Structure 1
Amino acid sequence: MSALIYKQRFFHPNHPKTAVSNYVHIGYIATRPGAVKHPNKSHGLFGKMKPGALKAFDSWQEVARIARQISREGKNMYRSVISFQTETALELGLTDFSDWQHYIEQHIATLSTQNQIKIENLCWAAAFHNERDHPHLHVVFWDKSQSVIKNFTHPEIPNRIRKQLIKDTFAYKIKEFCALRDEAKSGITKVTDRIVDDFEAYLKQLNPKAFRATQRRFEHEDGDSLLRFPKHHLIESSSVKHLASRLFELRRHLPPTGRLAYQLLPQESKMYLDELVQELLHDNRYLAELVNDYVQAKLELARLYTSDPDRLEKQHGNYQAEAEKRMANRILSTLRTMIKMEKESAIAIRQADRHQALAEQLLLELLTMMEGLAMRTQMDVDDKISVMGGELSKQAKKEWLLRHKDRGMER
């Protein structure tokens, strides 16, 4: 068993990229692989925007919009992580989504108090990531009444939060530890920081390798941006090898000369390229989800201007084709690199390894490309909804009225 890990930070509200970065961070914690999602929803975000019952938010975007707005207003949005080793989580009874929801609801006051936020002014949202070796909670929170920008949080604040969480979470374990150390004092009515430090040292020596691995994980990967989170776990070596062979096969079906661009390819070459795109979407579920997110965000934009179902259906096909064409052109970029490598070296030794390396890089860059497209399009949707007051355009209203004008008489 290892000790609890707590991290906390924020981006300065005055920085020009903070508002967008906070928006993206909400999307990251709510939807990334490993995030446990609500039934029939595409995200796992929950929390409270006001005192009351715990809420499963209708969409992660509703929280992201608020986060972006409070950043523009000069309020600090804190990003935090609470993590345990898997064995520890199981011993604590944190076995499913509802357990983790109950846990943070019990302990959110500790984060609030130590950051000097009155509980009635606390807004927070969290997501549970059930990763194999380190299940953890991402929690974002802010003070809705904040009027003065904070430039700095003393490191002692997250340290105090960590120690208080340990005191509250491991109360029974600390009692056992103190009894083992002959320091039991009438049920341990007061757990001091010294006892917490001793308890942590004791836990670390039980499994130092596991603790160091978890600590490094959150020292270097804090999930500041959806576009930077590690993606190697989303692709398998077998899929990389298969893609490398398919790229080599596609290379043989390309014209020997001329510019490699999708619109300029012969029909037969396009057919092979389109098949490869479909294979990638079939084999990589997360890539397919990102493409779908992009298409749905584009459709949200389209609905602001028209409500004609036939036009929207046609647009759906166009947006899907557009995303697939972007993927196809990115594949052609890798093929151009392959051709350049072949021309620069007549020796084919280790060529297969080179192709696999290129294939892996291609998969990672396709994921990053679609993440960026999906997120930027969703922010574009939010901006336009805000400008238009969340209503349909005049043209969309006119189309709706024309289709429904006779329905009252028919009844």
Structure 2
Amino acid sequence: MSALIYKQRFFHPNHPKTALSNYVHIGYIATRPGTVRHENMSHGLFGKQRPGELQAFDSWQEVARIARQISQQGKNMYRSVISFRKETALELGLTDFTDWQHYIEQHITTLAAHNRIKTENLCWAAAFHYELDHPHLHVVFWDKAQTIMKNFTHPEVPNLIRKQLIKDTFAYKIKEFCAQRDQFKSGVIEVTDSIVEEFEAYLKRLDPKAFQTFQLRFEQEDEDSLLRFPKHHLVEPASVKLLAEKLFVLRRHMPKTGRLAYKLIPPETKALLDALVQDLLQDNRYLAQMVEDYVQAKLNLAMLYDSDPEHLDKHRAKYQAESEKRIVNRILSTIRTIIKLEKEAAFDIRQANRQYAMAEQLLLDLLNLMEGLFTRAQLDYDDKTKVLGGDLSKQAKKEWLLRHKDQGMER
């Protein structure tokens, strides 16, 4: 177990989904629940795209677009995480957003050097996530001058980075440790890897249970996943239980026979279903935010063609209804599954734990669904903006708009 956890990886630039994955990852670290955000901004992304002052980016999308572009150019975008136990972070003076910004600004060159990136060619962005038991930084970085694509990083590289970060971060603690062990020979000691290992073993012995909890929590929650990141912390048990109750009340109102489709169910059942959708949006703020982000991305796309306020209000209502219809269809899919399971004699769907599991899975699926819809809408907008804002002539832009107008409004 370590006093500090460092994880690093990258997706191979040749993989067809790497550009999209890197785009989504930026959005994830910049906006997910627990992210400490800039004042009056919807994200917490900061970093440097060139040597100089630390920058709070105007939007996470500007960095995501760069990440997408460098992936398409065959450059590697590294994803890394630096994490401490809460008590350790407090002891180090990492108490607020500014402290964590200063910390990574001081240590980013360690990440670059071990990945053989020159300081003048280093580009990076980071976000601070305030988790109660393991506050941590997500850092993405790349070499803007890279010409040779990499397909492998030796596991020793992140291990060396971790050890160097420990040497630099805990220098005073290591000196105290060495003094206790009668190894303190002068005012300055050479901190070797063996001393770092002894120091880590010493800390583990001080509080083995706390360190084990820290390690398990961080390793079990894959902070680097995409469109699959753990969302259980976004789902309150009380709201899941309530959803399960409403879900099975709704099931009892479903027709006994016939196809289970929204347009075919009785009006009173439609009313219950519509009310359930609104309850979900009211109870789960993250789902509501994903719906709002999706609607806004589609609205931005519509504004490329028509900026009339009256028309935009109609478009907003249309996209809101579209997203709610997606939620309705997913609920109906769950109810179909319930009906199917009820017919299986060996499966007692009436058990409370099974009902809870069905409701929880429904919520997690809805979060994944809306994240995916938002991402595709945002990428669609980015692509069209790039074309319309490029070097096309006025006539070419007009022809492009006419050719794609219907397609753009239907997506």
Is this a same-fold pair by TM over 0.5?
yes
2:298 — aligned with what?
298
Task: Point out the more displaced range, 370-379 or 383-392.
Answer: 383-392
1:340 — aligned with what?
340
1:337-373 Cα distance to aligned partner (Å, 9 max, x none): 2222223339968533322221111111111111111
Per the TM alignment, residue 134 of structure 1 is displaced from its structure 2 partner at its CA by 0.6
1:200 — aligned with what?
200
**What does 1:162-311 align with in structure 2 at a 5 Å threshold?**
162-311=162-311
Paired letter, 1:3: A
1:144 — aligned with what?
144
Separation in 2, partners of 1:381, 1:12: 25
1:176-224 Cα distance to aligned partner (Å, 9 max, x none): 1111111113223421222111111111222223333333444454434
> Between the two proteins, what is the percent identity of the paired residues?
73
Separation in 1, partners of 2:164, 2:344: 61
1:361 — aligned with what?
361
2:370 — aligned with what?
370
Separation in 2, partners of 1:396, 1:151: 38
1:351-408 Cα distance to aligned partner (Å, 9 max, x none): 333222211111111111111111111111111112222699649999xxxxxxxxxx
Structure 2 counterpart SS, 1:279: helix
- What is the number of residues matched between the two proteins? 398
Separation in 2, partners of 1:370, 1:19: 20
1:151-173 Cα distance to aligned partner (Å, 9 max, x none): 22222221221111111111111
User: Would the aligned equivalents of 1:38 and 1:44 in 2 still touch at CA under 8 Å?
Assistant: yes
Structure 1 counterpart SS, 2:9: strand
Per the TM alignment, residue 305 of structure 1 is displaced from its structure 2 partner at its CA by 1.2
Separation in 1, partners of 2:216, 2:381: 37
**What does 1:33-182 align with in structure 2 at a 5 Å threshold?**
33-182=33-182
Separation in 1, partners of 2:365, 2:181: 54
Separation in 1, partners of 2:275, 2:331: 12
Structure 1 counterpart SS, 2:139: strand
Structure 2 counterpart SS, 1:354: helix
1:13-68 Cα distance to aligned partner (Å, 9 max, x none): 11111111111111111111111111222211110001111111111111111011
Residues 152 and 279 of structure 1: CA distance in aligned 2, closer, same or farther (over 3 Å) = same
Per the TM alignment, residue 83 of structure 1 is displaced from its structure 2 partner at its CA by 0.5
User: Would the aligned equivalents of 2:349 and 2:355 in 1 still touch at CA under 8 Å?
Assistant: no
Paired letter, 1:229: F
Alpha-carbon RMSD across the aligned residues, in angstroms, is: 2.2
Structure 2 counterpart SS, 1:327: helix
Work out whether 1:12 is the aligned partner of 2:12: yes
User: Would the aligned equivalents of 1:28 and 1:223 in 2 still touch at CA under 8 Å?
Assistant: no
Task: Point out the more displaced range, 87-96 or 210-219.
Answer: 210-219
2:324 — aligned with what?
324
Structure 1 unaligned segments of length 5 or more: list them: 399-411
Residues 114 and 245 of structure 1: CA distance in aligned 2, closer, same or farther (over 3 Å) = same
Structure 2 counterpart SS, 1:228: coil
User: Would the aligned equivalents of 2:341 and 2:347 in 1 still touch at CA under 8 Å?
Assistant: no
